[in-house]
Structure 1
Amino acid sequence: MDNRKGSFMTAKEMIKETEPILSKYFKKVEINRIMESAYKKCSVLEVENPPFESFASQSFLVQGIFGVAVYQALEEELCREQACELTQACFLHNIDVMYQSTMLRLSCKSKAILRMSRKVIINDANSKDDENGFKYDLKPKRKGYLYCFDVLKCPIAKLLNKYNLQFLGHYLCEADEYVMKYMPKNVFLKRDKILSHGDDCCQFEYVFSRKK
C-alpha cells in the first residue's frame, strides 16, 4: 500500500490511476490513446493555470485539472453524456486511491482532528490565495453539527467556467457525497446549495445523526 498517495498526487499520477476504470470499457490500444491524450491536455492545463499557495486550493486545482483532462480526452472517443459519466467514475476512483493512505483514513474518523484540520485549511486558503482560489465562510459552532461552512469561491468551479465545462460540475461535485464513506459513521452531509448548480455558494453542513 502506497501511503504517499494520500498526501498529494499530481494530476498526471491521477490520470495513470484511471487505467483500471478505463479497462472496463476500452481495449488496451484505446486506453493508451486516451491516456496519452489526457497527459497532453493535462500539460496544457497546468501551464494555463498556475499553482496556488494554499494546500487546499492547490490540491483541488490539481483534481480539477485531472478531471478536465480526462473529460477532454474521453470526449474525443464518446458522446458528452458518456464522457461525463466515465469521467465521474475516474474521479471517484481517484478518491479511493487517495484514501489508501492509512493516516488519512484514520484522521477522517477523528472528530477532533477533523475540526482542527478544517479550521487550519480554511484559514490557510482565506489568507493566501487570490480570487481564483478557495474562499470560505466558516460558521460558528452549532449543537448537533461537527462543523459548517460555505464555499464562496472554488478553484474547480472557476476552472470549469474558464473552459465552458460547467455541466461537468454536476458529475465531479458528487465526490463531496462520495467521500462521506470515509467520515465518522454518525455524520452526514447536508447541503442545499452548490456552486456548479448555479447557486451562490457550496453549502457544507456536517450533521450528527440522531441516536435511535
Structure 2
Amino acid sequence: MTRIAPVALLLAAALALPAQAAVTFSWQQVSTSSSMPTGLNLELAFSDEAVTAGALSLDISNDCHMGPPCLDPQSSLLSMRYWFDDPYIGGQHNLIDYGYRAQPRNYYDRIVMDVTFLAGGLLGGSIFASDGNSDFQMVSEGALFSVVTANSDEPYGCGWQYPDCSGASGMLVSAAQEASEVPEPATGAIVGLGLVAAWCARRRQRPARSSA
C-alpha cells in the first residue's frame, strides 16, 4: 500500500494558502499650479490589514544601499511610486520607487506618513518621501491633498525648471487588487520534503528485477 496520500495532503494544503490582498491608491489630479509641471503620478500600495485598521503612521528609513537585502521594520506599506510624466521629451522624471524589502533605487528611502483610510476608498493625511535624489511632501484637508513642496536634483519635473514646486491638488483613490504571496520558507520546505517522500515511495513500489 502506498504512503503518498499524506504527502499529497500536505502539498494540497501548501498550495491552498490564500493570496495576500493589497489596496492601491492612485493620484487623481484636481487642479494644477503654475509653479509645478503637469504629469504628476503617485501610487501607494498598502496591505489589506493596514487598510482594515483604518489609519497608519510610519517613519521609516531604508539606507542599506549596495548592502545586504533590506528588511523593513514594517509590512503595511508595500510600495510607493512617485514621478512626473514629461509630455515633450518623454520618460519618468523625479522617480521615487520604494518597494517593501527592496534595495533603494538611489541613495536611501525615507518615508514619513500619517494617513487615514476614508470612506469611499479615499485617503487623507500627510505624506513625505525622499530617496536622496528627489522628494515631496503633501497634506490633505479631508480627502483633498495639496503638494506643499517637491524637489529634485534632476533638470526636469520638480527640478531646476521649477525651483518652487508646490500648489497642485488631487485625491488618492483606491482600487483593490490581489498580489500573489511568495511562499514562506517553511512552506517551501514542506513541499520539498513531500516531493522527496513521494519519490521514495514510488521507488519502494517498483518490483525487484529477477536474476538470470
Give the TM bin, normalised by the shorter chain. Answer: under 0.3
Higher strand share: 2
TM-score scaled to structure 2, two decimals?
0.23
Report the TM-score, using the length of structure 1 for normalisation: 0.23
Greater fraction of residues in helix: 1
Question: RCO higher in 1 or 2 (8 Å CA, sep ≥ 6)?
Answer: 2
